[in-house]
Amino acid sequence: MTNNPNDNWENLFASMPLDITPRDEHRARLKEQVEKTHAAKPTALARNHTLKNIGIYLMTHRAPQWTAAAIIVACLSAFFITNRGRPALALDDVINTIMNAKTARFDTIAQVEGLPPQKFTTYFMAPNRFRQELVGGFINISDLAAGKIMSLDPNTKRATVFNMVNMPAGAKDKKPANHFEMLRERLRQVQADPDKNAVSLGEKELDGRTVVGFRFNVAPAPMTIWADAQTKLPYRIETTVLVPPRVEVVMTHYEFNLDLDESLFSLEIPAGYEEMPIDVDASPPSEKDLITALRLGCEVSEGEFPQGLDVASTAAYVAKYVAKYVAKQGVGKDGQLTAEQMKQMLRILRGFQFSMFLPADADAHYAGAGAKSGQAERVVFWYKPAKSKKYRVLYADFSVRESNTAPDVENAVKLPSMQTVQPAAPAKPPAAVLSKPPAAAPAKPPAKPPAAVPSKPPAAAPKTPPVRGNQPNNK
Amino acid sequence: MTDADQSDETALLDDLVLAARTDRKAFGRLFDRFHPAVFAYCLRRLLVRAVAEDVTSEVFLQVAAHIADFTGVCLEDFRRWLFRIATNQINAQLRQSIRRRELLEAAVQMGVVKAAASTPLLADKPARWDEVYQALGELTEREQSIISLRFFAGLKHEQIAAVLEMKPGSVRVALSRALDKLRERLLESDAPSQSPTGGGN
């Protein structure tokens, strides 16, 4: 008898007198059947996801790399605070290594509540170039100094190039445009205000290395950072955005100062790709933009205003707008949204960004649920501009009046501010979600997953893919 | 295969899982990869090839119908989901004692389980496969699932824990207890097998 009883059971069951080879005919027939089911079933759901995705993504991510950068900065701030007095993880070492980093790479899994997770790998090259590789071979390359973002769709061979226009003077050279300068700035802020609520999580093993964890309870997105105890660099950062819709983001497999090929960040149109240039207004959105967005939305929604100005409501509203707009005009010859349609979509999104990124002290409220356009006495929105003592009140006939006091409207909702980091880049649709035009049907929330579907993302992060030098990555 | 190769392959398979939600070809490749394992798992539990083929079909049709809602992001997530569906389907088949008895009788008649099971676990006592299956059927559904996922599907404790939504430590303990019970039942049973009947859950 062997020492391990399980080995005996293993041997016993391995000796079962059963031929477990599947019959080829059954396998082939079943494959045909399941592929048909696959083709028939998921399309509608996938389209709904796409519709909602367009809105949610754009509402929350002016540019994906900026969101990631903001989170990293905030997490590292927490890291700094909690490590004061811990010689094993000296602050100076951390700062110096990061400040001197010329390149970086990390993996991200972002899960918006009710939507499939998005997985992508981000590459950074100083001073401010980024590359994101998404599932399906979609690639976003951005160079904020050049004012360009390029999205490559390997299926249609379309290279959509977003040219930022009307960028505020000096924005291209502004220090926070550099990922690591932004980090330094944030660290300085933390040093000035160390009384934050941070909790040490101790040490643990992660992917074969010892990491030290800290929980940083910062609203609206508490974060946990796991730093490599030896290298003193962050290895995994987890954060959850608690403002609906809930977004869980895990960034992991950080690597610094890799030997990255310049071609990874090239903004040249790859051979075989057709360029679709789109000018994007990069100036800060204004009240006028919000009014335009609401007016455009009402035109295709029988005069109805959005149910809310939160991310989920506006996402659904924008998706509905795009669907109707596309239904009326059709799509481009390649089956994709035309440049004009994308511009129109960006226009309405820009408007909603105005209300979302107002500072908290603007005291912004929305009361438009159920309102119909043209109702001259119906208040739908109000806020207090910076340095102003008066409120700006928007009515359902799109007129704006000033008031010394905030309107007293039943069921008005105070808008949470998403202004955590002042973004400098304009709204840009992600390549992946714009790969297909939206269906000409109103967006519905995605169906509830079946009971057997795992409800939580995995604890284990995906493996880091190898560095690739070729520009488009048609994996 | 080196660690780097392994890492590359894992990353590619993770991407395949994500692409399979909407890409028919990618889904087909996932099917090719997992069909033999799922069929083997079904057959080892259900014994009768035709029934195992039917259940395997049910499993993959269910997966195809719901893949768009699948929220996992990597191969391990997909494996967990797939084997959870397979386990549920198999248990639903076996939940009826009549069905279980019929399957075992059919397997005996077809000679599938007539060979002797030889193992030092039972000392010198000879056992037959129909006895092993009968004893297995007398365990609780969860115990049967744990043993099956471990020895019929070849999953590790952590993977079984993910499929059954248990803690890995609990799986280890439950597996050990279930095997002890199985062994006791086999030692208690008469050498010439009684007619195969299903036990309680």
Instruction: Tell me the pLDDT band of B183, cut-offs 50, 70 and 90.
Output: confident
Helix pair A64-82, A179-192: axis angle to 10 deg: 40
* Inter-chain touch A18–B47, beta carbons under 8 Å: yes
Interface confidence, given as ipTM, is 0.83
Quick: pLDDT tens for A31-78: 998 888 887 753 333 333 333 343 343 344 333 333 333 333 333 333
User: pLDDT for A231-264, tens place per residue?
Assistant: 777 778 777 766 555 677 787 887 888 899 999 9
Domain boundaries in chain B? 1-94, 113-201
Q: Is the pLDDT of residue A462 over 60?
A: no
Most confident listed range (A150-159, A206-215, A450-459, B1-10): A150-159
**Residue B81 confidence (pLDDT):** 92
Name the CATH superfamily for A63-265.
Answer: Lipoprotein localisation LolA/LolB/LppX (2.50.20.10)
pLDDT band at B3 (very low <50, low <70, confident <90, very high): low
pLDDT value of position A115: 63
pLDDT surpasses 90 at A403: yes
Tell me what pLDDT residue B200 has.
33
C-alpha dihedral, A418 to A422 to A426 to A429, nearest 10°: -40
Residues of A in contact with B64 (CB under 8 A): 34-35, 37-38, 41
Confidence check: pLDDT of A387 > 80? yes
Q: Which residues contact B155 (CB under 8 A, 6 or more apart)?
A: B83, B149, B163
Task: Identify from B71, B90, B158, B163 which residue to disrupt to test chain A contact, counting A C-beta atoms within 10 A and taking the largest count.
Answer: B71
Q: Tell me which of 1.10.10.10, 1.10.260.40, 3.40.718.10, 1.10.3720.10 is the CATH number of domain B113-201.
A: 1.10.10.10
Task: Between B184 and A417, name the one with better pLDDT.
Answer: B184
Cis ω on the peptide bond leading into residue A245 (within 30° of 0)? yes
Tell me the pLDDT tens digit for each residue of B94-120: 876 566 677 777 777 666 666 666 667
More confident residue, A118 or B53: B53
A117-139 per-position pLDDT tens digit: 778 888 888 777 888 888 778 88
Residue A368: predicted pLDDT: 92
For the stretch B113-138, pLDDT in tens is 666 666 677 766 767 778 888 888 88
Q: Which amino acid is at A215?
A: R
Separation in Å, CA of B141 to nearest CA in chain A: 17
Q: Please tell me the predicted confidence (pLDDT) of residue B187.
A: 82
CB distance A17–B4 less than 8 Å? no
Q: Is the pLDDT of residue B40 over 90?
A: yes
Q: How far apart are CA A114 and CA A53, in angstroms?
A: 10
Q: Is the pLDDT of residue A216 over 90?
A: no
Q: Can you give the residue ranges of every domain in chain A?
A: 63-265, 286-356+358-414
Residue A424 pLDDT greater than 90, yes or no: no
Q: Answer yes or no: CATH 1.10.1740.10 is held by domain B1-94.
A: yes
What pLDDT, on the 0 to 100 scale, is given for residue A407?
Answer: 93
Q: Which pLDDT does position A44 carry in this prediction?
A: 31
Q: What is the mean pLDDT of chain A?
A: 68
Specify the pLDDT at position A148: 84
Interface touch A27/B35, C-beta < 8 Å:
yes
Kindly determine whether residue A462 and residue B119, on different chains, have CB atoms separated by under 8 Å. no
How many Cβ contacts (< 8 angstroms) between chains A and B?
A: 184
Residue A445 in this model has a pLDDT that exceeds 70:
no
Nearest 10 degrees: CA dihedral of A328, A334, A336, A337?
A: -50
Split at pLDDT 50, 70, 90, the class of A411 is confident
| Burial class of residue A386 (count of CB atoms within 10 Å of its CB; 0-12, 13-18, 19+) | exposed
- Distance between alpha carbon A159 and the CA centroid of its chain, in Å? 20
Q: Which residue of A lies nearest to B162 if distances are taken between CA atoms?
A: A454
Query: Which residue from B53, B76, B81 is facing A452, i.e. has the nearest CB?
Result: B81
Six-digit token string for B71: 């929220």
A9·B121 Cβ contact <8 A: yes
With cut-offs at 50, 70 and 90, classify the pLDDT of residue A458: very low
Give the distance from residue B88's alpha carbon to the nearest chain A alpha carbon, in angstroms: 9
Predicted local confidence at residue B32, as pLDDT: 94
Residue A422 has pLDDT above 80, yes or no: no
- A355-367: per-residue pLDDT in tens? 877 888 899 999 9
